[in-house]
Structure 1
Amino acid sequence: MRGKERRALLLETLRTGEVDVDDLARRFGVSASTVRRDLQHLSSAKAVRRTYGGAMLAHPVAEESLNQRQAINGESKAAIARAALELVAEDDILILDAGSTVSAFGGLLKGRRHRIITNNLALPPMLADGPGIELVVLGGDLRATSMGTVGPLAMDALRRITADKVFLSADGVVAGRGLCEASLDQVALKSLMMEQAREVVVLADATKLQRSTQSAWAPLPRGWTLVTDWRATDEDIGTFEAAGARVIVAEP
């Protein structure tokens, strides 16, 4: 494989997140020194940023809009939503994050009795007329890509509320590191959501596992639960369990 072709493939690989030199060398069947030279070439062109033992894209991957995400992996998200519903008891107080998978889960709550606190502006049209639903919508700055609110107003309101469970989404989730997102405002609010709830549940399809394409992070607490789909590999599941997560795999 010629150097130019290999460097193009390296860039494509880095779109999934930070990767270390040894992994890249094994993947492309070349020496670690060859990978380092390729990364140095790409770094000089300002296409990648070197990290300890590896590299990541110099510019985070652009976020997809909520509409775009809702059109992707719909079967997996629906299965995850159904599996997550099994974790909820009647009358639980719930915090629901923004995101397409959490929105799919939220839509299943309409016929139940819950107090729901959310920054997810896709949910009020679904739940506002649910007879057993008490809906609390967090104000703040709107992120149009996710149709979720963030910022000081959302956080000030959330500090006055506690919940039984929080259901979170993420651009990526990495075992032992946490939730990966595009902005500090997002991870600040997610971290506070986790503090205000007794139980933390992350809803993430298999494409989100071990993905670190963005630069802001929210660490996860001990004893959190991951609900993912049947496409998750045994290796990924084992990695999350070894890091202390409870993993639930949703079936089709």
Structure 2
Amino acid sequence: MTGNRPRAPHRSTAQRRGDMLREVLAGNGDIAELAARFEVSVSTVRRDLQQLAEDGHIHRTYGGAVAGEHTVERTLDQKESGNRVQKEAIAQLAAAWVADGDVVLIDAGTTTGRLARHLRSRDGLTVITNSTTALRHLADAPGVELIVLGGRVRRPNGAILGPAGEDMLRRITPDRVFLGADGVHARDGLSCPSLEQAHAKELMARRGREVCVLADATKLGTSPFPYHALPERPWTLLTDAGADPGAVRAFTATELCTVVTA
């Protein structure tokens, strides 16, 4: 007999990890308390916390996890290893929004990189990018006119940044802009590891006729870095089906953001 205590509604692993991340960021990172809160085993909590730590959202401690003052920036390979299924679903959804003949601007990032890979077989497409990952996927795509924004390659995220690229951005008006993010906050916008990158993202958002941010559910409501890019015009957040409904409401309440789940 389980008694009269109501059971928590079933949630996917991605949804649970997103909720667990918010608990840790709020200061509730004890393993035993998290296990009781989510009605899962301690070993499941440990696995969830370890994945969140590998994704760069939190720091593991002996008895649980804490939110670091600022997250250490991870390499592209480290980012690529997390939430693969969710990123792939978001990238496929984003690719479906692109029509042959479009002029598309693709930002640096792992999910945006997956989007670039899905556009390899398109015809009559123009892609402008500051992403070394997108460049690698599209350099030999016969139906894609590829334009690379100028500047220096920033490590570890493979973004090409600098005044030359910004000067090029001011001369284009893409049909669609697809931005990546390390975290997305309803109030502050896209969390960025450097002020230079935050400025570049805001400029990209201003140039596009449509602006989409690609971010899996674990990034919603988080700001792992102290710099932010906030779109000043209506934009769309493309995320996965594991997105917490409360987090989604926070974005739609801003009236500038529309949320679409893959």
TM range (shorter): 0.7 to 0.9
Distance (whole Å) between structure 2 residues aligned to residue 159 and residue 15 of structure 1: 41
Residues 89-168 of structure 1 correspond to what in structure 2 (within 5 A)? Answer: 89-112=99-122, 113-168=124-179
Q: Deviation string for 1:155-210 (max 9, x for gaps)?
A: 12222222111000111111132111110010111011111111110000001101
The reply to whether residue 173 of structure 1 matches residue 184 of structure 2 is yes
**Which residue does 1:246 correspond to in 2?**
258
**Aligned-pair CA distance for 1:221:** 2.7
- Aligned-partner SS, 2:209: strand
- Aligned-partner SS, 2:132: coil
The reply to whether residue 60 of structure 1 matches residue 70 of structure 2 is yes
Distance (whole Å) between structure 1 residues aligned to residue 78 and residue 196 of structure 2: 22
Distance 1:82 1:107, change over 3 A: same
Distance (whole Å) between structure 2 residues aligned to residue 13 and residue 77 of structure 1: 18
Residues 25-40 of structure 1 correspond to what in structure 2 (within 5 A)? Answer: none
- Aligned-partner SS, 2:113: helix
Q: Which consecutive unaligned segments of at least 5 residues does structure 1 have? A: 1-11, 29-55
Distance (whole Å) between structure 1 residues aligned to residue 250 and residue 187 of structure 2: 9
**Which residue does 1:45 correspond to in 2?**
none
Distance (whole Å) between structure 2 residues aligned to residue 228 and residue 156 of structure 1: 30
**Which residue does 1:216 correspond to in 2?**
227
The reply to whether residue 86 of structure 1 matches residue 96 of structure 2 is yes
Q: Which consecutive unaligned segments of at least 5 residues does structure 2 have? A: 1-19, 35-66
> Contact 1:159/1:196 (CA < 8 Å) preserved in 2?
yes
Tell me the number of residue pairs that the alignment of Structure 1 and Structure 2 aligns. 206
**Which residue does 2:215 correspond to in 1?**
204
Q: CA RMSD in A?
A: 2.3
> Contact 2:206/2:233 (CA < 8 Å) preserved in 1?
no
- Structure 1 stretches of 4+ moved >4 Å: 12-17
Q: Deviation string for 1:83-128 (max 9, x for gaps)?
A: 1122222211011000000000110001113111100011222112
- Aligned-partner SS, 2:120: coil
Higher deviation after alignment, 154-163 or 195-204:
154-163
Q: Deviation string for 1:30-60 (max 9, x for gaps)?
A: xxxxxxxxxxxxxxxxxxxxxxxxxx85x41
Distance (whole Å) between structure 2 residues aligned to residue 166 and residue 199 of structure 1: 6
Identity of aligned residues (%): 40
**Which residue does 1:233 correspond to in 2?**
244
**Which residue does 2:84 correspond to in 1?**
74
Distance 1:13 1:204, change over 3 A: closer
Distance (whole Å) between structure 2 residues aligned to residue 200 and residue 93 of structure 1: 13
**Aligned-pair CA distance for 1:239:** 1.4
What TM-score, normalized to structure 1? 0.76
Distance (whole Å) between structure 2 residues aligned to residue 179 and residue 196 of structure 1: 17
**Which residue does 2:5 correspond to in 1?**
none
Distance 1:232 1:129, change over 3 A: same
In structure 1, what residue type is equivalent to 2:176? K
What TM-score, normalized to structure 2? 0.73
Q: Deviation string for 1:118-158 (max 9, x for gaps)?
A: 00011222112212100001121211111111121221222
Distance 1:92 1:146, change over 3 A: same
